Amino acid sequence: MTTRLFLIRHAETTLSVEDRFAGSTDVLLSDRGREQVRGLAHRLATFRPAAIYASPMKRTVETAQILSAPHGLPVQTDARLREIDHGRWEGLTRKEVEAQFPMESGMWIADPYNFAPIGGETGRAVVERAVPAIKEIVAAHPNELIFAVSHKATIRLIIGYFLGIDLKGYRDRLDQRPACLNALVLYNRDSATNFTNFANPIQFVQFVALLKKAQSHRRDRRERGEHGGKLSALRELCG
């Protein structure tokens, strides 16, 4: 059995615009962020999720509520999907962190999976709480499509785990812009059979256009009585 998971980063906040560390800081979406997620909600309106999950932080809940509106589904929150806690770095810019805590900053850049600033959380700790949450969601929704709204680092770590990536380098992979969509097909709760990342709306529009073209081609073949061949992983991702 497989579960299709649309793992979505929350939209823009005022702190993300300023490139400030805002893991445990409960900041709201910006006006531009609300526009971003409304656009994504419009593009996802034709999909049929069975459930919508979110981190309980304000920015993820608001993102999930806007996404859920076309589907009439409640947003189910799970604290294990919250963002990584940056401890005493919270609210600071990267330059401020480098100036005030140069040793901590250097150690974190070298290995963010196993090192955390004082009062903060390691990437490993995030995996230990977030991955079990995703596995439980997958187990509860076999052969269904699920939306889950989370955060930049948490999403990178979840995807890296399922793809078997060396998580010491999780920050250097998988672009996660605000309102980014990641589509995964999870099999037996422990591995991803297919993964597609849409860092911007244009990529998603191109993806849907390609999917529709493939579906149309498949219908034409059936009408002509032709058989054989398989639709690409795009069909499996979107059902």
Q: 176 vs 31, which has greater pLDDT? A: 31
Does 128 share its domain with 214? Answer: no
pLDDT bucket at 37, cuts 50 / 70 / 90: very high
In terms of phi and psi (left: phi > 0; alpha: psi -120 to 50; beta: otherwise), the region of 237 is alpha
Does 131 share its domain with 14? Answer: yes
Distance, C-alpha 97 to centroid of its chain = 26
pLDDT of 133 reads 97
In terms of phi and psi (left: phi > 0; alpha: psi -120 to 50; beta: otherwise), the region of 29 is beta
Does 22 share its domain with 122? Answer: yes
User: Does residue 42 have an active-site annotation?
Assistant: no
The CATH code of the domain that includes 78 is 3.40.50.1240
φ/ψ of 57, rounded to 5, equals -75, 150
Does 49 share its domain with 96? Answer: yes
What's the rounded Cα separation, in Å, for the pair 154 and 127?
Answer: 8
Does 69 share its domain with 92? Answer: yes
Does 78 share its domain with 186? Answer: yes
What's the rounded Cα separation, in Å, for the pair 185 and 233?
Answer: 9
pLDDT of 206 reads 46
Does 124 share its domain with 45? Answer: yes
Does 117 share its domain with 210? Answer: no
Question: Does the pLDDT value for residue 103 go beyond 50?
Answer: yes
Does 73 share its domain with 190? Answer: yes
Mean pLDDT of the chain: 85
Nearest CA to 33 out of 22, 48, 47 is that of: 22
User: How much of the chain exceeds pLDDT 70, in percent?
Assistant: 78
pLDDT of 187 reads 76
Q: Which domain holds residue 220?
A: 204-238
Write the pLDDT tens digit of every residue in 141-184.
Answer: 999 999 999 999 999 999 999 888 899 989 887 778 999 999 88
pLDDT of 219 reads 62
Nearest CA to 211 out of 193, 183, 233, 194 is that of: 233
What's the rounded Cα separation, in Å, for the pair 137 and 131?
Answer: 10
Does 219 share its domain with 170? Answer: no
Number of domains forming the structure of the chain: 2
Does 124 share its domain with 155? Answer: yes
What amino acid occupies position 100?
Q
Q: 24 vs 188, which has greater pLDDT? A: 24
pLDDT of 33 reads 96
Write the pLDDT tens digit of every residue in 57-102.
Answer: 999 999 999 999 999 999 999 999 999 999 999 999 999 999 999 9
Catalytic entry in 12, 62, 83, 121:
83
pLDDT of 225 reads 59
Does 165 share its domain with 224? Answer: no
Geometric angle at alpha carbon 30, from 26 and 35, rounded to 5°: 130
Label the pairing between strands 75-77 and 51-54: parallel
User: Does residue 12 have an active-site annotation?
Assistant: no
